[in-house]
Amino acid sequence: MNAFLEQARFNMIEQQVRPWNVLDAEVLGLLSVVRREDFVPRGQEAIAFADLEVPLGYGQVMLAPRLEARLLQDLAVQKADKVLEIGTGSGFMAALLGHRAQRVLSLELVPELVQMARDNLQRAGVGNVDVRQADGAQGAAADGPFDVILLSGSVAQVPNALLQQLKVGGRLAAIVGDEPVMSATTVTRTSDTNFRTVQRWDTVAPRLQNFAEPSQFSF
């Protein structure tokens, strides 16, 4: 074990994640065992634990650790859950989800990142995550319905097509809105036709690709 990396991991959990109201012992425990440094591009290990977005190339980034941890806490993933993630990136969030859920399907648009994530997950020994090259804005209706859907990035609004892929009792988390202020939002499907939306905390995150941007103009 590299002592520098272990200290950096400890500092990330205690100085960034925990003070950001992430108090779920399971989530904090996962951050200490899933090796974030194995999911950053080679040569970027030194910034794996920094409070910033790590560039992955192809115009994509890894979300900051505290953001990923808090989204994971909001979703309260259970062992029997079937999860859909949109925006795999390097596969780190998929790995965290895989440790908590029964099965994870993660959709990524960029072929190079699909391969990177698959390799990272295999090296990390996470066998219950399927990374697929696909347009996440459409979801994966044929594989649904899902207990949990996570959008690993921001959208102007949550498409109805994704909400329809939730089981009753299922929940979706996304960062919704426009800069300078977006809200981490959880939508729970309470019945076939009803959904309950809760805006939990404010943040900013990069946009997911191919999601509709509503016109800012009203006529």
- Say if residue 215's pLDDT is above 70: no
Q: Range of 21's domain?
A: 3-203
For 157-203, the pLDDT digits (tens) are 999 999 999 999 999 999 999 988 899 999 999 999 999 999 999 99
CATH number at residue 153: 3.40.50.150
**In Å, what is the CA distance from 71 to each residue of 46, 83, 216?**
24, 13, 28
* Residue 213 is assigned to a structural domain of this protein: no
* Residue 132 is assigned to a structural domain of this protein: yes
For 116-129, the pLDDT digits (tens) are 999 999 999 999 99
* Residue 214 is assigned to a structural domain of this protein: no
* Residue 219 is assigned to a structural domain of this protein: no
Structural domain total, the chain = 1
- The reported pTM is 0.94
* Residue 217 is assigned to a structural domain of this protein: no
Q: Which two tokens stand for residue 203?
A: 């943040």
Q: For the residues 123-137, what does the mean pLDDT come to?
A: 96
Half-sphere exposure of 9 (CA within 13 A, CB side): 18
The residue whose two tokens read 């202020």 is 181
